Amino acid sequence: MDLRVPRVNIAGRWDRSGLGAFASEAAFEHFLATYRAGMATLPPFELFDVPTTFGTVRAYRFAGPDTGAPVVLLPGRNASTPMYRTNLGPLLEHRTVYGIDLLGEAGLSVQHKVIQSGSDQAHWLDEALIGLGLGKAHLLGVSMGGWTATNCAVQRPGRIASLTLLDPVFTFTGVTAKAILASVALLAPGVPERWRLRVLSWISGGADMDAAAIEAALISAGSRDFTLRTPTPKLFTDERLRGLDVPVLALIAGRSVMLHPQRAEARARALLPRGQVELWSAASHAINGEYPDEIAERTGRFWGEVDSRE
């Protein structure tokens, strides 16, 4: 499998360049081995390195039926494209799918310019969609990927056909205090691997990490080996959400520990002008891995509805 590995940023933890970077050559090699193992489980793909103002964005195209606008998957924090391995098969029954490694995060996208704001985040994603030749695309994001999708739709909606948000953080509510403490355990250098896995299990509703070994290894490696230098996302204001003029399917996890599920559901229902909001009561923050078939069926219907109105 040729991943056409790019020249990535390597910098110490206390580097002040403002660019996301792997902590050392050894850290990158460790992450890359985990990333390769994850990519090896995915369906066949084409890969692209898309130049943008803020860096080169790694994207993958997975061919599916040409039944409407394609889907673009945006991963959670420190996760990258392989986190969607259980979702790709079911989703590809409905659409062609693209996976994107978020710029400034662990993956094979390479940041070249400091990202200072939500406007900058929307800028690079919009340019990536342009570079991929996507006139319209349905964005699907889990956790931080959901915030990234919403942020782009708020600021640069022109190419976005719809949003599917899977338990998105910083979108309808802030993150919980416990989640902030858990993030410290994930991101701090020198944290024992067993502690990272324990935190990931907690985020995933107490799941056995052996059953999600690839995803757990990927997130753990990203947390250990890569230093983020992007700004902390800002919670969207009521005005921003009321002005969101694209169809939105929001699936909130009833057992999420990362946000406040009932408050998120209520705020999304109250503010989204074109929203379909559902609380999946048995789901944890790892909703995409827990319900891949159900998500594909629900999103397939949603995308069909949206495209039929175009």
Residues with Cβ < 8 Å from 245, sequence gap 6 or more? Answer: 157, 273, 274
Contact by Cβ (8 Å): 105, 226: yes
Residues with Cβ < 8 Å from 176, sequence gap 6 or more? 257, 258, 259, 260
What's the confidence (pLDDT) of residue 214? 85
User: Tokens 């979702």 sit at which residue?
Assistant: 87
Q: What is the pLDDT of residue 185?
A: 60
pLDDT greater than 90 at residue 277: yes
The HSE-up count of residue 272 (CA atoms within 13 Å, CB side) is 24
Q: What is the mean pLDDT of the chain?
A: 93
How many of the other CB atoms lie within 10 Å of CB of 167?
A: 29
Q: What is the pLDDT of residues 33-43, one digit of tens each?
A: 999 999 999 99
Q: What value does the CA radius of gyration of the chain take, rounded to a whole number of Å?
A: 18
3-state secondary structure 170-239: CCCCCCCHHHHHHHHHHHCCCCCHHHHHHHHHHHCCCCCHHHHHHHHHHHHHHHHHEECCCCCCCCCCHH
40-96: pLDDT as tens digits: 999 999 999 999 999 999 999 999 999 999 999 999 998 999 999 999 999 999 999
pLDDT at 195: 60
Percent of the chain with pLDDT over 90: 82
pTM, two decimals, is 0.94
Tell me which CATH homologous superfamily contains domain 21-309. Answer: Alpha/Beta hydrolase fold, catalytic domain (3.40.50.1820)
Q: How far apart are CA 42 and CA 88, in angstroms?
A: 8
Give every CB contact of residue 266 below 8 A, 6+ residues apart in sequence.
none
Q: Considering only CA atoms, which of 166, 162, 164, 154 is closest in space to residue 69?
A: 162
- Number of other residues whose CB lies within 10 A of the CB of residue 111: 25
pLDDT tens digits, one per residue of 174-228: 988 777 766 666 666 666 766 666 766 667 666 555 556 888 889 889 989 999 9
Query: CA nearest 273: which of 157, 103, 183, 128?
Result: 157
**C-alpha distances in Å from residue 285, one per residue of 73, 173, 244:** 17, 14, 24
Alpha carbon distance 31, 21 (integer Å)? 12
Taking only the tens place, the pLDDT of each residue in 258-275 is 899 999 999 999 999 999
Q: What are phi and psi of 57, to 5 degrees?
A: -100, 125
How much of the chain, in percent, has pLDDT values that exceed 70? 89
